[in-house]
């Protein structure tokens, strides 16, 4: 694939992967697609104040998250990693709660999920992944951290600082850039000097890999290799998955002001789910009957999560004060009483 | 609390002569020895022992896995602390100078301070940020700043500034053992001040002020290096028969409103002294608390003696920027004559 162009291959292959794995990738991607559709509908209905679609990025997210081990690794997301969360096994009603604005970081258990809190400062969590990974090595454990970030975040100082730290410490971390080619309204050519995020890894002394982000099999292989390297103690890898944000940046966005609809149409035709479905059938990993059944299950799961998040109770006002400190202060206790007397009523 | 007091009694040592820099070093030794999860890291804290030698010998004693140098990037140092905390460690990062905390503000304010809140308690941040702070050593620009109002204004952070070696030792133990993030502001101007100190386990809860010098006619409220300046003022005033109380707030968040109110209710007058610029400084918070708690007892409005609303100036001008003994004495005179 020529780097950073929209001309991808028209088909992918998963012949080299196990049928169990490729079927699981398809199931998660299908579920994420349906849940994404439900989420956009919830926003239209006024249940979500806003939503950020992952449509078109399911292969990049599901295949990378599936290369991680939720029993010993740790994933650090930003705010557009719904499909990764789903594939990694995060409790999805709790995850989607962030989009209903029930709690900024979501309502899932970050520690038990080993999946960091939703975070809108897009470069911010990347050094967290490095710190976590350094901590893993200090203890002699073999967990690997993966940090998601985008082409926009690749401009953030924290991302560069984190990569330099990771290189210096030889930290077991995978920097996973989903290059969806648009940082809100700004395209790659006005975001990424030199034209390549993955090429920057060379400057930090570790491998950088560019992969077709709409090819689930290729993403899985590249990430699995990066994870294996890190686990062997060979340090970090930067994986850049080239994909495309086919939906607006968020439900509040108006992409007609900045990009050509023909470009979007071309990428919609390279849909990662369609590509994987065809590859599964071609590889003989699944037949139409099986896929129809998976589609139906995905539909039901997406509806379950939709109903769960739509009906989840709003947090009690007292929770304003609950988690500010582990050891509360007298002043905050006083302010909580003020809240009780003057707000709660 | 009983357990705290017993531990304090057991661990008390005879008085030894120590500088604050050495006392903090002793505290870090205790912490590294007692808790295998404590990590000390930052720029030049390893072989060099820190530019102020606060971490002197720690790497030698505890190894380069527990005490290590990082590359030069303050934001990544604090971001790394977040990740280490999420992996069960108890990080004690150093940012070399107060002015270099600004590049790390995003990590401190958006991440460290909020992670426990954002995750509803799933990712506590038992991080103690050691920050050599304040002026008084006529350092280059960005090597002398007062960031306490910024940190105290940030929900989720606790902020402490010791004023003498003994207190620096106890407060460091308390800060690092706390499961909340603490910004520990070390007054550079006091680092080399040696005095006989008893190294004590912390006995007061977090957020407790202390009366350094009891007095009757007015309360001088200060923290960090300004405490010693206020003691000097009190000694001078005593020669004129004016008996000043000096209250060391120590904790700037949580701030000891009760201790402050108790002192000022007794003396009926308060002068708050800080190095930071006047406008929106913590002196305003102190004045507001005094007004709320002691309005009927007050004989005069609260006086503020602070740095001016200008950047910390270069060497020869710094002594004119920082609150001088004369300015504090004048404020005392104003409050007594009101």
Query: Which of B86, B156, B178 is the closest to A324 by Cβ?
Result: B156
A104 and B253 in contact by Cβ < 8 A? no
Question: What CA–CA distance (Å, rounded) separates B21 from B24?
Answer: 5
Candidates A56, A157, A69, A63; CA nearest to A113 is: A69
Angle between helices B74-86 and A125-139 (to 10 degrees): 60
B70 and A103 in contact by Cβ < 8 A? no
Q: Is A258 a catalytic residue?
A: yes
Q: Does B129 touch chain A (CB under 8 A)?
A: no
Could you tell me where the DSSP H helices lie in A245-287?
A: 261-269, 272-283
- Tell me whether residue B202 is in a domain: no
Query: Which of A121, A130, A164 is the closest to B110 by Cβ?
Result: A121
Choose the mutation target among B120, B124, B126, B152 for the interface with A, i.e. most A CBs under 10 Å.
B120
Say yes or no to pLDDT of B43 above 70. yes
Please report, for the domain that includes residue B279, its CATH number: 3.40.50.920
Q: Which helix (H) or strand (E) holds A58?
A: helix A58-66
Token representation of residue A259: 């990009």
Q: How confident is residue B1, by pLDDT bands cut at 50, 70 and 90?
A: very low
Candidates A76, A87, A70; CA nearest to A32 is: A87
Say yes or no to pLDDT of B275 above 90. yes
Give chain B positions within 8 Å (CB) of A166. none
Question: What CA–CA distance (Å, rounded) separates A4 from A153?
Answer: 17
Write the pLDDT tens digit of every residue in B144-201: 999 999 999 999 999 999 999 999 999 999 999 999 999 999 999 999 999 999 999 9
DSSP state letters, A129-158: HHHHHHHHHHHT----EEEEEETTGGGSHH
Which range is least confidently modeled, A105-109, B13-17, B291-295? Answer: B13-17
- On whether both B6 and B80 belong to a single domain, the answer is yes
Number of domains in chain B: 2
The residue length of chain B stands at: 338
B83 and A130 in contact by Cβ < 8 A? yes
Question: What CA–CA distance (Å, rounded) separates A52 from A122?
Answer: 14
pLDDT value at residue B14: 81
Question: What CA–CA distance (Å, rounded) separates B134 from B230?
Answer: 16
Question: What CA–CA distance (Å, rounded) separates B26 from A64?
Answer: 46
Alpha carbon distances (Å) from B238 to A320, B235, B328, B334 = 48, 5, 14, 16
A130 and B122 in contact by Cβ < 8 A? no
Say yes or no to pLDDT of B285 above 60. yes
Q: Does B1 touch chain A (CB under 8 A)?
A: no
pLDDT value at residue B31: 98
Question: What CA–CA distance (Å, rounded) separates B47 from B185?
Answer: 23
* Beta-sheet strands, E only, within chain B: 16-19, 38-42, 67-69, 90-94, 128-133, 158-160, 182-187, 194-197, 210-213, 218-222, 244-248, 251-253, 270-277, 303-307
List phi, psi (to 5°) of B293: -95, -25
Question: What CA–CA distance (Å, rounded) separates A286 from A273?
Answer: 14
Please report, for the domain that includes residue B90, its CATH number: 3.40.50.970
Q: Which regions in chain A score pLDDT beneath 50?
A: 1-3, 6-7
Q: Does B39 touch chain A (CB under 8 A)?
A: yes
Give chain B positions within 8 Å (CB) of A124. 79, 106-107, 110-111
Running DSSP on this structure, what letter comes out for residue A115? B
Four-point Cα dihedral B226, B229, B230, B235, nearest 10? 170
Give chain A positions within 8 Å (CB) of B39. 138
Q: Does B171 touch chain A (CB under 8 A)?
A: no
Alpha carbon distances (Å) from B203 to B165, B199, B234 = 16, 12, 26
How far away is chain A from the Cα of B139, in angstroms, using its nearest Cα?
27
B75 and A157 in contact by Cβ < 8 A? yes
Q: Is A249 a catalytic residue?
A: yes
Question: What CA–CA distance (Å, rounded) separates B262 from A198?
Answer: 62
Four-point Cα dihedral A7, A8, A11, A14, nearest 10? 180
B116 and A133 in contact by Cβ < 8 A? no
> How do the domains of chain A map onto residue ranges?
19-314, 316-345
Residue in B closest to A121 by C-alpha: B110
How far away is chain B from the Cα of A188, in angstroms, using its nearest Cα?
25
Residue at a domain's end among B169, B197, B225:
B197
Range of the domain at B88: 2-197
Q: How confident is residue B7, by pLDDT bands cut at 50, 70 and 90?
A: low
- On whether both B55 and B148 belong to a single domain, the answer is yes
pLDDT value at residue A10: 82
Q: How confident is residue B3, by pLDDT bands cut at 50, 70 and 90?
A: low
B 293-332 near A (Cβ less than 8 A)? none
The residue from A27, A28, A128, A249 that is catalytic is A249
- On whether both B125 and B154 belong to a single domain, the answer is yes
In this structure, CATH architecture of domain A19-314: 3-Layer(aba) Sandwich (3.40)
B257 and A331 in contact by Cβ < 8 A? yes
- On whether both B115 and B7 belong to a single domain, the answer is yes
Give yes or no for a contact between A64 and A146, defined as CB atoms under 8 angstroms apart.
Answer: yes
How far away is chain B from the Cα of A216, in angstroms, using its nearest Cα?
29
- On whether both B157 and B251 belong to a single domain, the answer is no
**Region B43-66 average pLDDT:** 97
- On whether both B255 and B164 belong to a single domain, the answer is no
Alpha carbon distances (Å) from B193 to A213, B18, B49 = 60, 8, 19
Number of H helices, E strands in chain A: 14, 7
Candidates A135, A131, A171, A127; CA nearest to A153 is: A127
Give chain A positions within 8 Å (CB) of B178. 326-327
Token representation of residue A159: 């991302």
Question: What CA–CA distance (Å, rounded) separates B188 from B103?
Answer: 20
Token representation of residue A220: 């899985």
Q: Is A101 left (phi over 0), alpha (psi -120 to 50) or beta?
A: left
- On whether both B167 and B231 belong to a single domain, the answer is no
- Tell me whether residue B203 is in a domain: no
Token representation of residue A50: 């806003």
- On whether both B121 and B189 belong to a single domain, the answer is yes
| Straight-line distance from the first to the last Cα atom of chain B, in angstroms, rounded to the nearest whole number | 43
- On whether both B27 and B164 belong to a single domain, the answer is yes
Write the pLDDT tens digit of every residue in A42-53: 999 999 999 999
| Straight-line distance from the first to the last Cα atom of chain A, in angstroms, rounded to the nearest whole number | 63
Give yes or no for a contact between B38 and B176, defined as CB atoms under 8 angstroms apart.
Answer: yes
Burial label, A265 (beta-carbon count in 10 A; 0-12, 13-18, 19+): exposed
B110 and A124 in contact by Cβ < 8 A? yes
- On whether both B47 and B185 belong to a single domain, the answer is yes
B 103-122 near A (Cβ less than 8 A)? 106-107, 110-111, 115-122
Question: What CA–CA distance (Å, rounded) separates B7 from B138?
Answer: 40
Give yes or no for a contact between A235 and A206, defined as CB atoms under 8 angstroms apart.
Answer: yes
A130 and B106 in contact by Cβ < 8 A? no
Give yes or no for a contact between B208 and B256, defined as CB atoms under 8 angstroms apart.
Answer: yes
B70 and A165 in contact by Cβ < 8 A? yes
Q: How confident is residue B288, by pLDDT bands cut at 50, 70 and 90?
A: very high
Give yes or no for a contact between B135 and B106, defined as CB atoms under 8 angstroms apart.
Answer: no
Q: Does B158 touch chain A (CB under 8 A)?
A: yes
Residue at a domain's end among B170, B197, B224:
B197
Give chain B positions within 8 Å (CB) of A77. none
Q: Give the contacts of B102 (CB within 8 A, at least 6 positions apart).
A: none
Angle between helices A19-44 and A216-231 (to 10 degrees): 110
> In this structure, is the dihedral angle defined by the CA atoms of residues B144, B246, B181 and B200, taken in order, positive or negative?
positive
Cβ count within 10 A of residue B33: 12
- On whether both B162 and B26 belong to a single domain, the answer is yes
Which range is least confidently modeled, A136-145, B1-10, B104-113? Answer: B1-10
Angle between helices A272-283 and A58-66 (to 10 degrees): 60
- Tell me whether residue B204 is in a domain: no
Question: What CA–CA distance (Å, rounded) separates B199 from B167?
Answer: 8
Give chain A positions within 8 Å (CB) of B253. 329
Residue in A closest to B124 by C-alpha: A326
Question: What CA–CA distance (Å, rounded) separates A158 from B104?
Answer: 10
Cβ count within 10 A of residue B211: 14
Question: What CA–CA distance (Å, rounded) separates B334 from B268?
Answer: 13
- On whether both B246 and B318 belong to a single domain, the answer is yes
pLDDT value at residue B5: 47
Say yes or no to pLDDT of B280 above 60. yes
């Amino acid at each position: 694939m020529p780097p950073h162009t929209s001309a991808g291959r028209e088909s992918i292959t998963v012949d080299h992967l196990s049928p169990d794995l490729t079927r699981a990738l398809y199931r998660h991607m299908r579920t994420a697609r349906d849940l994404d559709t439900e989420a956009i509908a919830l926003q239209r209905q006024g249940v979500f104040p806003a939503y950020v679609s992952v449509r078109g990025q399911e292969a990049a997210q599901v295949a990378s998250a599936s290369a991680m081990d939720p029993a010993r690794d740790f994933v650090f997301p930003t705010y557009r990693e719904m499909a990764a969360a789903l594939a990694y096994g995060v409790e999805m009603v709790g995850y989607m709660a962030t989009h209903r604005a029930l709690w900024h970081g979501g309502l899932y258990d970050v520690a038990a999920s080993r999946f960091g809190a939703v975070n809108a400062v897009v470069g911010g969590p990347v050094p967290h992944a490095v710190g976590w990974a350094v901590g893993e090595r200090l203890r002699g454990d073999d967990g690997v951290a993966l940090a998601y970030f985008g082409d926009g975040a690749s401009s953030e100082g924290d991302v560069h600082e984190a990569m330099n730290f990771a290189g210096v410490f030889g930290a077991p971390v995978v920097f996973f850039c989903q290059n969806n080619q648009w940082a809100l309204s700004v395209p790659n050519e006005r975001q990424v000097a030199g034209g390549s995020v993955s090429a920057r890894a060379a400057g930090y002394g570790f491998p950088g890999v560019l992969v077709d982000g709409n090819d689930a099999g290729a993403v899985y292989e590249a990430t699995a290799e990066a994870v294996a390297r890190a686990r062997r103690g060979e340090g970090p890898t930067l994986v850049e998955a080239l994909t495309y944000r086919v939906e607006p940046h968020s439900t509040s966005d108006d992409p007609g002001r900045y990009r050509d609809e023909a470009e979007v149409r071309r990428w919609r035709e390279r849909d990662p789910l369609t590509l994987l479905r065809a590859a599964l059938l071609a590889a003989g990993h699944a037949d139409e009957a099986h896929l129809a059944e998976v589609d139906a299950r995905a539909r039901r799961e997406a509806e379950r999560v939709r109903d769960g998040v739509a009906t989840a109770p709003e947090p009690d006002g007292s929770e304003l004060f609950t988690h500010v400190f582990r050891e509360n202060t007298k002043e905050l206790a006083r302010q909580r009483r003020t809240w009780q007397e003057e707000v709660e009523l | 609390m009983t357990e705290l007091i017993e531990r304090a009694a057991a661990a008390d040592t005879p008085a030894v002569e120590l500088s604050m820099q050495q006392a903090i070093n002793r505290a870090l030794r205790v912490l590294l020895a007692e808790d295998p999860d404590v990590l000390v890291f930052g720029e030049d804290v390893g072989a060099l022992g820190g530019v102020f030698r606060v971490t002197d010998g720690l790497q030698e004693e505890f190894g380069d896995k527990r005490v290590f140098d990082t590359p030069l990037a303050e934001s990544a140092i604090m971001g790394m602390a977040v990740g280490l905390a999420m992996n069960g460690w108890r990080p004690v990062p150093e940012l070399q100078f107060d002015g270099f905390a600004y590049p790390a503000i995003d990590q401190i304010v958006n991440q460290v301070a909020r992670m426990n809140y954002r995750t509803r308690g799933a990712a506590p941040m038992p991080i103690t940020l050691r920050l050599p702070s304040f002026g008084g050593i006529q350092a280059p620009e960005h090597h002398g700043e007062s960031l306490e109002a910024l940190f105290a204004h940030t929900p989720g952070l606790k902020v402490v500034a010791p004023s003498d070696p003994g207190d620096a030792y106890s407060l460091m133990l308390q800060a690092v053992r706390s499961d909340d993030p603490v910004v520990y502001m070390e007054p550079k101007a006091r680092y080399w001040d040696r005095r006989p100190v008893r190294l004590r386990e912390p006995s007061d809860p977090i957020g407790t002020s202390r009366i350094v010098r009891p007095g009757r006619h007015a309360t001088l409220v200060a923290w960090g290096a300004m405490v010693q300046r206020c003691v000097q003022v009190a000694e001078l005033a005593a020669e004129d028969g004016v008996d000043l109380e000096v209250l060391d707030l120590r904790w700037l968040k949580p701030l000891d409103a009760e201790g402050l109110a108790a002192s000022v209710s007794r003396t009926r007058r308060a002068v708050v002294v800080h190095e930071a610029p006047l406008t929106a400084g913590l002196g305003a918070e102190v004045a507001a608390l005094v007004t709320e708690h002691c309005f009927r007892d007050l004989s005069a409005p609260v006086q503020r003696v602070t740095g001016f609303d200008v950047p910390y100036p270069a060497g020869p001008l710094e002594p004119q920027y920082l609150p001088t003994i004369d300015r504090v004495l004048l404020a005392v005179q104003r409050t007594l004559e009101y």
